[in-house]
Homo-oligomer: A and B are copies of this chain.
Amino acid sequence: MSDAALDREFRIPPPPPGAEVPEPLPEPGRDEIRLEAVMAALSDPLRIGVVRKLLLESVDFDHTCTWFGLERPKSSLTHHFRTLREAGLVRQRQYGPSRRNQVRIADLKARFPGLLALIADWTPAE
């Protein structure tokens, strides 16, 4: 699937008007994102599956870690989502007690055109 198709079909709506959007947690700037780090983050099936699910099913603004239905201990999920954030793939914001995730679509499209399409087309091994 092309980046343009992703734009048309799976665009993440803006936050609701008047809602307070917390600042993102620390993350690399757009120009600091390294392809090696992105590749390393995506080399784990759980993590590339998370990014893909966010791309394809993010009908709402963003999602908590538990929304993904991953059957892992919470401390493991913390590790994987931090890995994705530090690589520059997802942005995390703290909404009260929960932490919500979204793919950095604009940054990734600008920096690595075609990458999101590869992720969206990924399927887990049988």
Contact of A39 among B42, B112, B113, B117 (CB under 8 A): B42
Secondary structure dominating the interface of A: helix
**Cβ of A71 under 8 Å from chain B:** no
Closest to A116 in B: B114
How many copies the complex holds: the figure is 2
In the bound assembly, the distance between CA atoms of A35 and B119 in angstroms comes to: 9
Are A35's CB and B118's CB within 8 A?
yes
Question: Chain A contact residues (Cβ within 8 angstroms of B): what range?
Answer: 10 to 19
Give A34 to B49 CA distance when docked, in angstroms: 13
Q: Mark A24-54, 1 if CB is under 8 A from B, else 0.
A: 0000000000111101101111001000000
Bound-state Cα–Cα, A117 to B118, Å: 12
A35, B115: Cβ atoms under 8 Å?
Answer: no
Complex contacts, A35 vs chain B, CB 8 Å: 42, 48, 118, 122
Instruction: Across the A-B interface, give the 3 residue pairs with the lowest CB-CB distance, nearest first.
Output: A114-B114, A40-B43, A39-B43
**Residues on A close to B: CB < 8 A?**
34-37, 39-40, 42-45, 48, 112-115, 117-118, 122, 125
